[in-house]
A and B are shown apart, each in its own frame.
Chain A
């Protein structure tokens, strides 16, 4: 009988436990966890229960060691994104890629690195290219489950006596990945092939040494090479520290104890999560929705990408009787030719980032919580594209918008149970992203992405204002970075940083304010700049009567006369654009081109010395009726320039006297004014059901802007449930419908369509 080549090939000894392959181990783990409802089938935790001190000691060693690895390794990096902003994270996994412990930092990557290891297991890397002790793997492929191309993973297997005992993973947010535009989250990519250099779980080193072909290829594929190189050394250093740590623990505790520990700590994480849900939440359903703009009609892009639309993300949280947390995104609309698409792993992992800041604010972040939750992510939607061509370089544009309402939903539980200190009205849309690239002030081919976004305003709580200019949802250690450091690294001089009055949503407790920085081009050659932010839309509501945070806009001036004005000692634009109704920048310079509009996403434009660009970092949403805000707090806001006078009067209903620029609130007059505003509310509002009749007529007449109709048409095409609920709510006849094809906009790539499938 003829033998096939595969029959005679010498198979390697499996590297899993007890003679199993990693693929077998993964399969068995999924089966037993699903079948029993307990991770690894652990109905009890014998190690933890019989020897809790030893159990906790191992946990503390590992957790402390992983955090230590991050803190130490980040000093290797030169990129301000990593070194200043802390955009890195390390995690330790089981052989099957379930996370055991993780560091601080951008912990969204607990899931994405796990997805990459699972991809290698599923694709039998064990046989080819082989998984050996001291190998080094790299991944940043979006469609494997990464967030976006700039998040580069280093993954190393950890062996003990010939068996894989686990994996260490490290990720950094690199400054550039060689995309069609510079910067880490570029505007311009509309397909995967524009997103930059993508590495699909590739073996890049053996025996702890990086391969020369990898070093040459990777450094020729990206801009800002020195940052790329040092970021990689950062990741490898951290992973090796974690490997040493694990081997030390095994030497001390024994491999059997370590194996039992790693199973129990994940099941313990699952139980801890269930306990938190029961402690903090109320069973039931919570509904919310977010929207973010894709204003691409007039951008310099391929014709099929040039349209205006809205990314729609409705969400329904169900807290089940057994404390299972389910989040269903049914009704979300289609992926598109923009860089804002995402993968299911990135949105679910991101949800854990959010939950770790609210529902499970402890250090036991591991995959246990994943086993106590369930997600519904529609296939074909913007966060589960049915086409590998989708671009993801700036996925945060949509992800941040999608997560914020979930926090708002959970806050209804916290409010109901009396945990008012935990309520959060939502999060800022962390933008604009200010990006660019070219030859920098040192003559080096470089790129930039200002991570000032790490310090946006926080949403208000039920007992205090949101913190001003301080944080970002995706990195709990937000920091705006030092101007002096940014100026060292970017060919842009600061003309000021200033709080933007009114950028936080108004409310009884207002959202934390955002701010602006103004940058002047200096010293670069062949440099381009662009922005990415939400402009025409407020990406979240307020909570319980509070207003949404302010939306975004852009300001940019090219070919200015600032050089001449400096020579003549004339005033130039400085600080923030504190009252856009009465702008001052234009009065202090002339420019051939000025962009002052809501087009907060733009594509590359040449940017030369003395050109000016503003970065606007958003505020957070507000909580409660602004008319109930303590007038003394409004007075303080006004005097500290967190709010403009006319809004202190008309939104908060306060009356002031002014002396030498200091405002004092008149409490009695304020009380009267607030009563008047209350009366005015009644006068100019209508019963909701009455208003609905008018809105229904508009719907029947299809009276809305094309981007609005396009958003609904896409959600209708993907979801029968959303369509039925929409029609039922508005009492719309069966025959009424909006189809993408009738809108006269490009439909390339629109595959899943239940109307066509019906035909």
Chain B
């Protein structure tokens, strides 16, 4: 079974691996220790020291605060909310709901018709990175994409202690 070190993990995260290396990773049986190495590499890359419990999305992490709270945090340091809430409600939003706004992203006719569907962009209030994009009809409730069962994951699936420090 394949096993990858931190160097390989960093290259994977940076997108610098050659296709043959990625193909090998895709075709091999998955390495069970991947999560821990990946988590450690991500922890080393952020400037803050709250322990990462789970990478939650590009730039987003569920971290453990010293008071026991688990919150969604951007790698810039911005803290959104408890991980059970929808972080998008604590972000900034820009909605493309006119042809003109759509045309900034897509050539004419290649965007959704804003009468049928709008594009919602969610930005980090601190670093302005675009964290998620929804294409939904008007009125659609903002989607809570992912509610992980972190306790089961650690205790019963990977059978590892929850990280307590960075």
Contacts and interface: CB of A to CB of B under 8 A. Distances in A.
Interface of A: 278-280, 282-289, 291, 293, 310, 312, 319, 321, 361, 409, 412, 415-422, 462-464, 501-503, 506, 508-509, 535-538, 540-542, 544-548, 550-553, 579-581, 596-598, 623-628, 630, 644, 647, 650-651, 678-679, 681-682, 684-689, 691-692, 695, 698-699, 704-705, 707-708, 711-712, 725-726, 729-730
Given A310-B116, A682-B128, A708 B89 contact: no
Contacts, number: 250
A695 B22 contact: no
Given A289-B140, A409-B145, A422-B26, 17 more contacts: A283-B148, A285-B146, A293-B116, A416-B54, A416-B55, A536-B112, A536-B113, A541-B132, A550-B107, A551-B113, A596-B109, A628-B129, A651-B104, A685-B94, A687-B125, A688-B91, A695-B138
Contacts of B148: 282-284, 416
Contacts of B95: 691
Contacts of B125: 682, 687
B77 interface: no
Interface stretch (B8-16, B43-51, B63-71): B8-16
Nearest to B91: A688
A730 B141 contact: yes
Contacts of B162: none
B97 to A, nearest CB: 10
B138 A418 contact: no
A725 B141 contact: yes
A312 B116 CA distance: 12
7 A-B pairs with the lowest CB-CB distances in the bound complex, closest first: A418-B38, A678-B128, A550-B110, A553-B109, A536-B113, A685-B92, A284-B148
B149 A698 contact: no
Nearest to A293: B116
A649 B17 CA distance: 27
Contacts of A289: 136, 140, 143
A417 B38 contact: yes
Contact of A681 (B110, B123, B149): B123
12 contacts: A291-B137, A419-B34, A421-B12, A537-B117, A544-B59, A623-B58, A685-B94, A689-B89, A692-B89, A695-B139, A699-B139, A708-B139
Contacts of B88: 688
Interface string B54-98: 111111000000000000000000000000000011111111000
Contacts of B161: none
Interface in B14-40: 15, 17, 19, 22, 25-26, 30, 32, 34-35, 37-39
A538 B135 contact: yes
Nearest to A651: B105
A279 B32 contact: yes
Nearest to A674: B128
Contact of B147 (A284, A548, A623, A685): A284
Contacts of A553: 109-110
Contact of A412 (B90, B106, B146): B146
Contacts of B89: 688-689, 692
A116 B127 CA distance: 56
B107 A420 contact: no
A547 B95 CA distance: 13
- Of B15, B95, B105, B110, chain A has the most CB atoms within 10 Å of the CB of B110
A553 to B, nearest CB: 4
Contact of A416 (B56, B93, B144): B56
Given A416-B54, A416-B56, A681-B123, A704 B137 contact: yes
Contacts of B107: 501-502, 550, 579-581, 644, 647
Nearest to A581: B108
A594 to B, nearest CB: 13
A682 B55 contact: no
Contact of A684 (B94, B110, B140): B94
Contact of B117 (A536, A625, A678): A536
Contacts of B152: 283, 321
B166 interface: no
Contacts of B157: 278, 282-283
Given A282-B54, A418-B37, A651-B105, A625 B129 contact: yes
A361 B55 CA distance: 24
- Of B39, B91, B157, chain A has the most CB atoms within 10 Å of the CB of B157
A163 to B, nearest CB: 39
Contact of A548 (B116, B135, B141): B135
B136 A545 contact: no
Given A421-B25, A551-B110, A287 B116 contact: no
B159 to A, nearest CB: 11
Contact of B116 (A283, A552, A626, A708): A708
Nearest to A711: B137
Contact of B110 (A279, A361, A580): A580
Nearest to A278: B157
A346 to B, nearest CB: 24
A463 B166 CA distance: 25
B146 A280 contact: no
A208 B138 CA distance: 57
A726 B25 CA distance: 41
A726 B139 CA distance: 9
Contacts of A291: 117, 135-137
Contacts of B13: 420, 463
A724 to B, nearest CB: 11
Given A626-B130, A726-B141, A464 B22 contact: yes
A545 B110 contact: no
A580 B109 contact: yes
A283 B34 contact: no
A536 B110 contact: no
Contacts of A705: 115-116, 138
Contacts of A596: 109
Contacts of A463: 12-13, 15, 17, 22
Given A420-B13, A545-B132, A687-B92, A708 B138 contact: yes
A479 B27 CA distance: 22
A699 B137 CA distance: 12
A698 B112 contact: no
Given A681-B123, A688-B88, A415 B143 contact: no
Contacts of B22: 421, 463-464
Contacts of A726: 141
Contact of B92 (A503, A651, A682): A682
Contacts of A729: 141-142
B153 to A, nearest CB: 5
Nearest to A578: B107
A418 B153 contact: no
A321 B154 CA distance: 11
B134 interface: yes
A463 B38 CA distance: 14
A730 B85 CA distance: 15
Contacts of B105: 506, 547, 647, 651
A419 B30 contact: yes
A156 to B, nearest CB: 35
A718 to B, nearest CB: 17
Contacts of A630: 15
Contacts of B121: 681, 685
A679 B104 contact: no
Nearest to B42: A418
B100 to A, nearest CB: 12
A598 B129 CA distance: 31
Contacts of B104: 650-651
Contacts of B140: 289
B150 to A, nearest CB: 8
A692 B133 CA distance: 16
Contacts of A547: 105, 119, 133
A321 B116 contact: no
Nearest to A276: B30
Contacts of B92: 681-682, 685-688
A705 B109 CA distance: 19
Nearest to B133: A542
